[in-house]
Amino acid sequence: MVVFVFMKLARPTVRLFSTSTAIQESERVTKRSVSIDSIKKLHAHLIRNDLHKEPSSISEVVRSYALSPPYLDKARLVFYQIKRPTFLVWNHMIRGLSQSDQPSEAIRMYIRMYHQGLSGNNLTFIFVFKACGRVPDIVRGQMVHVHALKLGFQSYLFVSNALIHMYASCRDLDLAQKVFDRMEDRDIVSWNSLMCGFAQHSSFNDVLRVFEAIQSANVKADSVTMVKVILACTYLGEFGIADAVVKYIEEHHVGIDVYLGNTMIDMYGRRGLVNLARQVFDRMPERNIVSWNAMVMGYAKVGNLVGARKLFDEMPKKDVVSWTSMITGYSQAKQYTEAVGLFQDMMAAKVIPDEITVASVLSACAHLGSLDVGEAVRDFVSNHGVKVDIYIGNALIYMYCKCGVVEKGLEVFHEMEIKDPVSWTSIISGLAVNGFADSAVELFSQMLRKGIRPTHGTFVGILLACTHAGLVDKGLKYFESMEKVHGLTPEMKHYGCVVDLLSRSGSLEKAYEFINKMPIIPDVVLWRILLGACKLYGNATLSEIITNKLLELL
């Protein structure tokens, strides 16, 4: 790698511009509370006095326009009127572009500056590396890296930190690590930049490795470090390490800001440790809507809907996630009336639902048999531009089939551009239980022809269809194909379907033999299905045998 060969040879001879001085000067200028209106007046004054082409006079105007997104184009116009921009003026433009939606323009601006013989300073490289990371553009990033090396700026702490971030953003974690390893001086930002790079690209074991190195180096971690480490622990399921990290936070008095607090609440919520999550929530000096939402979701996850609703009602501000968390919590806890009622409150509050909200409330409507409410939800979705994705489509199919309007469910199914196994399973099961067994069998055949792998649920649906249509041989064939063709091990519910299939057709002895040959111990339900059929067909002998079996199980 050219950059790192050069790094071994290049030694900075003199610091052309003090890092601390440059940062302080930049921050001093940036923190001036100058309104855009004042800048416009200053700009007009400079034009009237023919000073708008002088870099020393117009510099503040360029800076203010460049750092205000709506005025970035105006900053560019002003800049190009300047006779000979100083590197400070170039920096203002490069900085503004680097944090805009045009980061590649910042790189081009730097290249123009370089070709005009201006080297810039350490801040220039910080801004350009940021732009390269945002594009991302590792080729130009390495080119600028060489420039920084030649001028000796890589020895500046903030420049090296920006380099690490740039390489990490460009997905070259090896180069990010090499820059870090060659740094003579590091601060916590250096460690965090490397750690954030690994976290950004899901290299969570490396995040934990870096944290271990931080502790070995006796560097005090900050809240940014803790956020990344806890996130890594959460994704890896390393909750023992997460608990040790919380202990580190307490022992080293790491300040719990809103981001760290939210991360801790989420970590505890995923584990169902809602009381510990609440302790963090109560200790947070500042909370945002994410904090409240995380707590509501935590309570809902453990089934404490009373606690979730109390917190929901206390929220100073609610967004779609807040409403969805509460509605989904009610729906998952089978409190369907509350889910539908809260959705109606959400509509009254003029909050537009998302796909998850709609899918959850449609599920509640299905279980309540509230076709009219479900239809109203569908109309709302159509009228408010909510995207009908695969989850809403599946929820609509389930609702229509559950409410007995299978024709509309079939209509939704055929309108869906993308279907998953849940889509096929829902419509096949819906057709089966609503008396359209032949259509269910035909759709199942289509599913197989399209190469879509059936699930355990799909086989329950097709076996139900065969049962309702009296298709004994076809049903047995489907059952045998579960393991032989599709690699699915039959579960108790599948055995129950076959027993029901045989029993309804009057094949009682076959059903009894089938149960006795099962590789798993039959449950009470299977014996009761067969017993009911024995009574229906008047098979007293087999009925007595099964009754004795049931007495043994009960």
- pLDDT attached to residue 382: 85
pLDDT at residue 27, as a whole number: 43
Query: Of 129, 154, 172, which residue constitutes the final position of a domain?
Result: 172
pLDDT digits (tens, 9 = 90+) for 299-326: 999 999 999 999 999 999 999 999 999 9
Kindly calculate the radius of gyration of the chain based on its CA atoms and give it in whole angstroms: 33
pLDDT tens for 73-129 read 999 999 999 999 999 999 999 999 999 999 999 999 999 999 999 988 999 999 999
Q: For the chain, what percent of residues have pLDDT higher than 70?
A: 94
Phi–psi pair at 494, nearest 5 degrees: -70, -40
Distance CA 285, CA 275 (A): 18
Average of pLDDT values for 427-452? 96
Whole-angstrom distance, CA of residue 2 vs CA of residue 8? 10
Q: Let me know if residue 168 belongs to a domain.
A: yes
Q: Which of 118, 140, 172 is the C-terminal boundary of a domain?
A: 172
Give a yes or no: residue 166 inside a domain: yes
Contact 281, 261 (CB under 8 A): yes
Instruction: Classify residue 3: in a domain, yes or no.
Output: yes
Confidence of residue 3 (pLDDT cuts 50, 70, 90): low
Closest CA to 330 of 372, 300, 362, 370: 300
Asked if the model's pLDDT at residue 32 lies above 90, the reply is no
Q: Kindly report the pTM of this predicted structure.
A: 0.80
Q: Whose structure tokens read 């509050």?
A: 349
Number of structural domains in the chain: 2
For residue 64, the domain's CATH number is 1.25.40
Q: Is the pLDDT of residue 203 over 80?
A: yes
Query: Is residue 82 included in any domain, yes or no?
Result: yes
C-beta separation of 231 from 263 below 8 A: yes
Q: By the 8 A CB rule, do 505 and 476 touch?
A: no
Give me the domain span that covers residue 548: 491-554
pLDDT tens sequence across 276-301: 999 999 999 999 999 999 999 999 99
On whether residue 229 sits in a domain, the answer given is no
H or E segment at 74?
helix 72-79
| Final residue of a structural domain among 152, 172, 192 | 172
Answer whether residue 23 shows pLDDT above 70.
Answer: no
pLDDT digits (tens, 9 = 90+) for 440-494: 999 999 999 999 999 999 999 999 999 999 999 999 999 999 999 999 999 999 9
Q: Is residue 244 part of a domain?
A: no
For the stretch 381-405, pLDDT in tens is 888 878 788 999 999 999 999 999 9
Quickly count: other Cβ atoms within 10 Å of residue 212's Cβ.
12
Inter-axis angle of helices 72-79 and 87-98, nearest 10: 160
pLDDT greater than 50 at residue 15: no
Q: What is the mean pLDDT of the chain?
A: 92
Q: What is the pLDDT of residues 334-364, one digit of tens each?
A: 999 999 999 999 999 999 999 999 999 999 9
Mean pLDDT, residues 482-508 taken together: 97
Task: Please write the tens of the pLDDT for every residue from 213-265.
Answer: 999 999 999 999 999 999 999 999 999 999 999 999 999 999 999 999 999 99
Instruction: Between 31 and 492, name the one with better pLDDT.
Output: 492
Given a contact cutoff of 8 angstroms between Cβ atoms, the answer to whether 232 and 204 are in contact is yes
Q: What is the pLDDT of residue 28?
A: 45
Can you tell me whether residue 282 is helix, strand or coil? Answer: helix
Least confident of 17-26, 50-59, 243-252: 17-26
Sorting pLDDT into bands at 50, 70 and 90, what band is 29? very low
Name residue 298's amino acid. G
pLDDT at residue 31, as a whole number: 42
Instruction: Give Cα 506 to chain centroid, integer Å.
Output: 53
Predicted confidence (pLDDT) at residue 12 exceeds the cutoff of 70: no
Residue 44 counted as domain residue? yes
Residue 43 lies in a domain: yes
pLDDT of residue 30: 44
